[in-house]
Amino acid sequence: MSSERMRLFALQTVFALNGLGLAVWFPRIPDVKAALGLDVLALAFSLFGLPAGTMLGFLVVGRVSRRLGLKRTCLWGGSIFLLSFIGPALASSALALGLTLFLCGLSIATIEVAMNAKASQTERVLKRRIMTRCHAFWSFGTVTGALIGGAFAQWEVSFLAQQLLLQPVFAALNVVAALRLMPDEPVQDAPAGRFVLPSRALLILCLVPIGALLTEGAMMEWSALLLREHVGASPFATAATFAVFALSMALTRLAGDRLAEAFGPQRVITRSALLMGIAMLGFGLSPGLWLSVPMAALAGLGCGNIYPLTMSVVGQLPGARTERNVATLALIAFTAFLVGPPAIGIMAQLLGLPMALAALAPLGLVPLLLMAPAKPPRTTSG
């Protein structure tokens, strides 16, 4: 394997391990809810800890990456994130669960910005698109993690035993992969402490993936509960359904870079969002797995390329350092994960979880409304 291919594979492995370590948690959410005796609203506000920590982390990750460099930030940020996910398995109350998820969120912010900025940097060095392929590996990681977590749940292995067994292994693999990343580019930045107001084009682009991230978060955090309590599926069947969603995302991301080259990122994003909205309506109101599984697959097809293609466009905008644009996008777009758990929890308490998830369908119109007037520039390969 050539040096270039090895470094690209190392970056894709960092993405995959990030998704893997996160996804083993999703099939265990109903088990944690039952073990702690939580109702849907208490669970929603516990889950709120993860995005709250992530949003706070986005405010400081720029300083961390400037001090350590992107390569070392991927190494330390990714490994600390993976190990931090042992914490939720130790929680003994809703408050403790929320606090441990908050700490996980702080570390997620670091690796989220660092690995995406590294991917954008690598695109410039290689002079070709790789962003959606990197995110495809993240999705392959979530497929694997969901199936592993579902298998542990089906075998009635405790969540704590699962995390103590898996997360140190994932963290060690992240160290090995991060050490093989492409060296950081020499950069010149604005003076320390200088505030630069984001451009109008950047702010509009930052709103484009909010619906996709809300949908993705809903599938991560609520699909298992919906399928177990409202559809009557087994623990492994719920994990497998989420795995179908994640696999569908992964496969469409493998094609995302080529689709963007052929049709332009704007057209790919808007058409994908419409498909995502239709699929979430069907998934939320599905009476059985016979409809839930294909709707999960269609939701993944629609959701998959919206965030990475927006990230790629933002990473190429002129006038600011890449990780600053990436961090701005992540900070604004990830408000979806911040408002998602309590919003869906409140709607679920009032209307039922099926209607709460179906209510996400109109979000498919958001990129169409935003990108038509914005007309972001089409980036091309070098």
Query: Which residues 6+ apart lie within 8 Å of 149 measured at CB?
Result: 23, 24, 25, 26, 27, 28, 162, 239
pLDDT at residue 127, as a whole number: 82
Tokens representing 227 are 């399928």
pLDDT at 380 > cutoff 50: no
Find the mean pLDDT for residues 51-78: 89
Confidence band for 198, pLDDT divided at 50, 70 and 90: low
pLDDT at residue 188, as a whole number: 54
Confidence band for 319, pLDDT divided at 50, 70 and 90: low
Instruction: Average the pLDDT over each of 36-50, 120-134, 258-272, 286-300 and give the range with the smallest value.
Output: 120-134
Please spell the DSSP secondary structure of 18-63, one letter per residue. HHHHHHTTGGGHHHHHHHHT--HHHHHHHHTHHHHHHHHHHTTHHH
pLDDT at residue 318, as a whole number: 65
Angle formed by the axes of helices 322-333 and 210-226, to 10°? 50
pLDDT at 43 > cutoff 90: yes
pLDDT at 223 > cutoff 90: yes
Identify the burial level of 157 via C-beta atoms within 10 angstroms of its C-beta, where 0-12 means exposed, 13-18 middle and 19 or more buried.
middle
pLDDT at 206 > cutoff 50: yes
In this structure, which CATH number among 1.10.390.10, 1.20.1250.20, 2.60.130.10, 3.30.1330.10 belongs to the domain 3-182+199-374? 1.20.1250.20
Residue identified by tokens 């103590």 is: 164
Instruction: Average the pLDDT over each of 145-159, 194-208, 257-271 and give the range with the smallest value.
Output: 194-208
Tokens representing 2 are 């050539």
CB atoms within 10 A of CB 156: 8
What is the rounded average pLDDT for all residues in the chain?
88
CB atoms within 10 A of CB 331: 21
Per domain, the residue ranges of the chain are 3-182+199-374
Residue 3 vs residue 98, higher pLDDT? 98
Answer whether 269's CB lies under 8 Å from 371's CB. Answer: yes
DSSP code for 291:
H
